[in-house]
Structure 1
Amino acid sequence: MNVFETISDTTGKMADSGETYIKKTQEYLKLKVFQQLTVSVSLVVKALAVGGLFGIGLLFLAFAAALAIGKWLENEALGYLIVGGVFLILTLIIYLSRSAINNMIIKRFSSKFFES
């Protein structure tokens, strides 16, 4: 009987250890998800704030540049056309390099997401 009691005690201890391990793993995963969520939300908020202000600044610079070019060429419409063309060319360059941008973003975020 003594051997069976020892096996029963050992099995009980293993079950308790397994339950503790599962609980601690769940707690760790909750903390990890919370960390990743807060990092992501913080990044989005900062990107929106900086991007919004940058966009407004770029808008004013574009109007100023269009007015200056139009005044220099003595044709305001041509100034706006040139600035619009520059923005279209920049958009095309960014569109053509989108895979490089995707790879850069994936590399940057994978180190944060998969770090232990």
Structure 2
Amino acid sequence: MSLNDSLAGTNKKAKAVSEKFFHTTYEYYRLKIFQQLTTSFGIVFKTLLIGSMLLLGLTFIAIAVAFLIGKALGNYTHGFLIVGAFFVLISLITYMLRKHISNFIVRTLSEKFFN
């Protein structure tokens, strides 16, 4: 009977250790997922906040430059057309470089997410 008792005791200890390991691993991954989510949401929130402020500032600068060019040319419409053409040109360049931009974003976010 002592062999059976010994095996039963060993089984109980193994079960207790494995349950503790499972719960510890579960808690670790819960915390890790929470950390990754908060980091990701923080990056997105900061990017949106900074991006919106930058967009607002660039809008006012573009309007001011359009009025400045229009005043120099004597026709405000021409100033706005020139500034609009500039933004279309920048958009086309950005469109042509979209794969490089996507790769840069994936590389940057993967470093933050997986480290």
User: What are the Cα deviations for residues 5-63 of structure 1, in whole angstroms up to 9, with x where unaligned?
Assistant: 22222222111111111101111111111111111221222112211111111001000
The percentage of aligned residue pairs carrying the same residue is 41
CA distance in 1, matches of 2:99, 2:34: 30
**Count of residue pairs the alignment pairs up:** 115
Partner of 1:41: 41
TM-score normalised to structure 1 length: 0.90
Say whether residues 1:7 and 2:16 are aligned partners. no
Say whether residues 1:107 and 2:107 are aligned partners. yes
CA distance in 2, matches of 1:33, 1:80: 49
Q: Give the partner amino acid of 2:102.
A: N
Alignment root-mean-square deviation, CA: 1.3
TM-score normalised to structure 2 length: 0.91
- Name structure 1 gaps, 5 residues minimum: none
- Name structure 2 gaps, 5 residues minimum: none
User: What are the Cα deviations for residues 64-94 of structure 1, in whole angstroms up to 9, with x where unaligned?
Assistant: 1111111112221111111001111111111
